[in-house]
Amino acid sequence: MTHPMPRFPDPGAPPPAYHPAEEFLFDYAAGATSPTETLLLATHLAYCETCRQAVKAARAVGGTLLDTLEPSRLPPNMLNRTLAAIDAGIEDEPPPPPLSTFLAQHMAHKDWKRLPNGFRMRRIPGHEGSGRAWLFDAPPGLKLLPHRHVGDEWTVILSGVFHDGDRAYHVGDFGHREDGEEHQPFIGAQGRCVSLIMVRESPKYTTTVGRLAAPFIRL
């Protein structure tokens, strides 16, 4: 079955209502996030002018702090050792494609894991470290299985509406669930919902049906 391709980012989407925590944005600005965390944050930033300005301000503050530091003496031969390490190092990786191209390529892949209820999911390879990245594509009205998180979970909505508790997440919104939290999100009736997810470990399903299904939907 062919599904419509969401636009990345959607130029008609209103500004996001839900944002990453400040410490996540500060880590991103400092280059201290893992590849998967960087992917999720960069995706939200593609939609969110407010967070882009926050990252810009954090980088400016970081540069100002560096300017105030007293210079210190480097170890002997540091320049020669650095140049030698560069000469012997691994070739530079090519720059990543634009986010729109990156996500569209993954959406177009055929190797999605599909379930009978119309839900499909695809692991995004190459983004390891502190978390694993997945694309979820769910039909309208679907209730996800109740589960408890092992490690925190990050979510960015790419199309549709994702309900979690008393919150409705729309395009560009960033959701965060802590380790140990339990919930049962569901998809809005407006249409399919595509989301980018980061998990640390597979969640624990809290119902008999969920535990039976777990081997087929392991994250």
* pLDDT score for 114: 87
For residue 65, what pLDDT is reported? 47
pLDDT of residue 78: 47
pLDDT tens track for 38-63: 999 999 998 999 999 999 999 887 55
**Residue 153: what pLDDT?**
93
Cβ pair 211, 159 in contact under 8 A: no
For residue 215, what pLDDT is reported? 73
The pLDDT tens digits of the residues spanning 97-116 come to 567 788 888 888 888 988 87
| Domains of the chain and CATH, by start | 13-219 (2.60.120.10)
Mean pLDDT of 132-157: 91
The SS3 assignment for 123 reads: strand
| More confident position, 21 or 147 | 21
> Is-contact 99 156, C-beta < 8 A?
no
* Degrees to nearest 5, angle at CA 197 with 194 and 202: 125
pLDDT band at 3 (very low <50, low <70, confident <90, very high): low
